[in-house]
Chains A and B, each alone.
Chain A
């Protein structure tokens, strides 16, 4: 019997309703396209809401020496020059306008005394560059975009998950998925599709990401024929909560360090001073006093080593823990309470600058961060790689498929600077929406192929049919095994032999996933959703592992114990993942894009 489903038609279908998806939808709608948005959760709940520190944009409101050129150079240095230089250029040039536009839509950022948008320091940014709202910048941004978007005639399909993209004649023509509420299938025909599905954190055991972040957009794009790039670069944020167990992995904003928080080991030593990379030595403080002055806005001071890039800080923390100098629960200490030695009203100051951190530790860990240090350790946070896109249009290598935000690759190279994700999603969400609308104008609507849809639906329903025997494995066990193995074998410190082992174990997990059974019916059934998400998690895990094996060097977020140094030759190659004609995953290396003369000159001067 053919599956029952409803069909909706759009010019542009946006997949994901975080910052990138909403910004793309607003732009496509502004260009006159009929826009539909699919989101796995309710509107306004996507991970953008968790972004705390701020949005990076060279507004130069706090330090007039800042400019898009410095932001560009900082982004490239942070990404170890594997970034797509044109994307880094567009990002740095356009971020200020995108931030000011948010203000015109109602966002209220913290202010300078003369009433302009205030900016704060963050790791890897030479000048104070992050526009922010306390430590809840992401909430302000997603709410502003959401509230602006609801008045624009955009159709929202909330709590809807996609199972497959639909293609015809070598381009994307829509997508097929299901609504969580009743489990009903939904066919979305579209002339262009924008992927904005965010990250992949659920492939790992310890993560700051919620259940949604199973890499759906990457897996759907890959299976439909698009290329993925830089998949070995997974950002492990240096500071996640480590205790109690139930909160392990929840993010502790870099803003704590931006406001003067310091990292110490069990001996009380500020170990970040012990290992400052050569390419950052000239711009890093060599004593505690200078570091403190930097956090308080002294323009002549250099940044404290706690504000080095995230990859480096995370590795230093891992080293302290491994060498036995960690905190009682397997982390290190992050202390902001010490600033009471410097500021008379320190407790009030901390509560004002970091209200949600104060709240989070007080409620979940019973710790008052104005009085005692936090315990923190690395947590899987962000995928630098993703769907390979054209730098100007954001179109993937599959015509009609666009991507923006975390699920797109290229901007961040080997490591993302804090604050650059919120600016990324604004700049490239806007571009993807505009170009998807333009692409859609030149296309006819293609009807979806019923036979393809029947096959997708049958595959989705299969876990229920396997439940009959009663002996089949459930989806949660497979998901937990996958997360545990990826954490252990392809985590923050990698070794070739372990990753070879991971590939073998992934094959076994793929076989288990193909046999999982779920009980109950299709109505709002988390067991079923978990079973279906396994497909995406497995594709993404394999892509990460294959890419990481091929990169026989250490660079940015990718650290190989068996190849601990940088290889200059590999510094000019990006890793590309694609599916061959037989449906097998292949990996190759492409030369990094050429720098324009203007950008080369900037890097020569400041890189």
Chain B
């Protein structure tokens, strides 16, 4: 059996370093298996977050050879094993320990987004009739597993640290899922422009590239939101009309 070499970031807070490990490779092995094997063999306190091991829960996000990925969905066979594999925690969030980051900011951001507010039920049985096409349009957004890899890669958060002014691709996607929900009646456009900072996104599409669910975050969610904001706040005809209405 072949052996794989790893450089795994160990430490807590800001202080830490890459520590070398070796472990045997078995067929089909993914990076998370290797981390577990290293835990059992030589580093029982190596911290890693994981759950489903099937790409469905979005817990095991990390940077593998510098790329934001899910450890459970990255096969060793697809990595160049002649070099050590580098494993580091997501850089956009504070490190708790080793590969585990403090992602609590994301939970705070979500709480600040206006919740789902359905229109009254309109079918005679007290429910709704929803056209399958309208459901399909938003189902793409609802595939999100909240791995936060899109947040990790977004330069507005990663390099410019604008966590207070910009909610990041995950929550623009979440807002889009609510805004385009066939039953929702709430209006989030003003917050998107102001507190949530949709304007900071300059459409580099890095988020779309790392999304393990293959969601077209930029094209299908963020750009339509930007259009709604532009339509509301920057359309000169509409602005003129609003001015007229206010003055009368």
Give residues in A with beta carbon < 8 Å to B: 41-47, 49-50, 100, 103-106, 108-116, 133-134, 136, 139-140, 143, 147-148, 150-151, 156, 158, 181, 210-212, 243-247, 250-251, 356, 359-360, 363-365, 474-477, 480, 518-521, 523-528, 530
User: Given A49-B56, A106-B181, A136-B143, is A42 in contact with B49 using a C-beta cutoff of 8 Å?
Assistant: yes
| Nearest A residue (CB) for B12 | A523
A49–B145 Cα gap in the complex (Å)? 9
User: Given A244-B29, A360-B54, A524-B98, is A151 in contact with B47 using a C-beta cutoff of 8 Å?
Assistant: no
A residues near B104, Cβ cutoff 8 Å: 158
B51 x A41 contact (CB < 8 A): yes
B51 x A211 contact (CB < 8 A): yes
A518 x B28 contact (CB < 8 A): no
How far does the Cβ of B226 sit from chain A's closest Cβ, in whole Å?
Answer: 23
Q: Which 10 A-B pairs give the minimum distances between C-beta atoms?
A: A244-B28, A520-B45, A527-B44, A115-B129, A106-B116, A524-B47, A111-B132, A476-B40, A524-B97, A210-B51
A residues near B49, Cβ cutoff 8 Å: 41-42
A468–B4 Cα gap in the complex (Å)? 31
B45 x A518 contact (CB < 8 A): yes
Within 8 A of A (CB), among B49-63: 49-59
A476 x B44 contact (CB < 8 A): yes
A42–B12 Cα gap in the complex (Å)? 19
B residues near A210, Cβ cutoff 8 Å: 50-53, 57
> Beyond the given A108-B130, A148-B116, could you list 9 further A-B residue pairs with CB under 8 A, ordered by the A residue number?
A134-B139, A139-B143, A150-B110, A151-B111, A246-B29, A363-B55, A480-B40, A526-B46, A527-B45
Taking a contact as CB atoms closer than 8 A, the residue among A42, A43, A47, A523 that contacts B97 in the complex is: A523
User: Given A133-B139, A212-B51, is A50 in contact with B57 using a C-beta cutoff of 8 Å?
Assistant: yes
A147–B116 Cα gap in the complex (Å)? 9
Interface of B is mostly: loop
A244–B50 Cα gap in the complex (Å)? 19
Give residues in B with beta carbon < 8 Å to A: 12, 26-30, 33, 39-40, 44-59, 73, 75, 96-98, 100, 102-104, 107, 110-111, 115-116, 118, 121, 126-132, 135, 138-139, 142-143, 145-146, 178, 181-184
How far does the Cβ of B160 sit from chain A's closest Cβ, in whole Å?
Answer: 26
A116 x B127 contact (CB < 8 A): yes
A250 x B53 contact (CB < 8 A): yes
A530–B40 Cα gap in the complex (Å)? 11
Q: Which of A42, A519, A523, A528 has the most CB of B within 10 A?
A: A42
How far does the Cβ of A490 sit from chain B's closest Cβ, in whole Å?
Answer: 23
User: Given A106-B181, A116-B129, A527-B44, is A364 in contact with B57 using a C-beta cutoff of 8 Å?
Assistant: no
| Nearest A residue (CB) for B72 | A364
A518–B45 Cα gap in the complex (Å)? 8
B45 x A246 contact (CB < 8 A): no
A residues near B107, Cβ cutoff 8 Å: 43, 150, 156, 158
B44 x A45 contact (CB < 8 A): no
B residues near A50, Cβ cutoff 8 Å: 52, 54, 56-57
A539–B50 Cα gap in the complex (Å)? 24
Taking a contact as CB atoms closer than 8 A, the residue among A244, A365, A519 that contacts B44 in the complex is: A519
A147–B48 Cα gap in the complex (Å)? 26
B residues near A246, Cβ cutoff 8 Å: 26-30, 33
B181 x A108 contact (CB < 8 A): yes
- A selection of 21 A-B contacts at a CB cut-off of 8 Å is A50-B52, A103-B128, A106-B178, A106-B181, A108-B181, A113-B132, A133-B142, A158-B104, A247-B53, A356-B56, A363-B73, A363-B75, A364-B73, A474-B40, A480-B40, A518-B45, A519-B44, A520-B44, A521-B45, A524-B96, A527-B39
B59 x A526 contact (CB < 8 A): no
B residues near A114, Cβ cutoff 8 Å: 129
A245–B128 Cα gap in the complex (Å)? 46
A528–B47 Cα gap in the complex (Å)? 11
Taking a contact as CB atoms closer than 8 A, the residue among A112, A139, A211 that contacts B145 in the complex is: A139
Taking a contact as CB atoms closer than 8 A, the residue among A43, A112, A136 that contacts B56 in the complex is: A136
A111 x B26 contact (CB < 8 A): no
Taking a contact as CB atoms closer than 8 A, the residue among B45, B56, B130 that contacts A139 in the complex is: B56
Taking a contact as CB atoms closer than 8 A, the residue among A106, A112, A250, A475 that contacts B54 in the complex is: A250
A106–B44 Cα gap in the complex (Å)? 42
B56 x A115 contact (CB < 8 A): no
A106–B117 Cα gap in the complex (Å)? 8
B residues near A475, Cβ cutoff 8 Å: 44
A246–B28 Cα gap in the complex (Å)? 6
B residues near A116, Cβ cutoff 8 Å: 127, 129
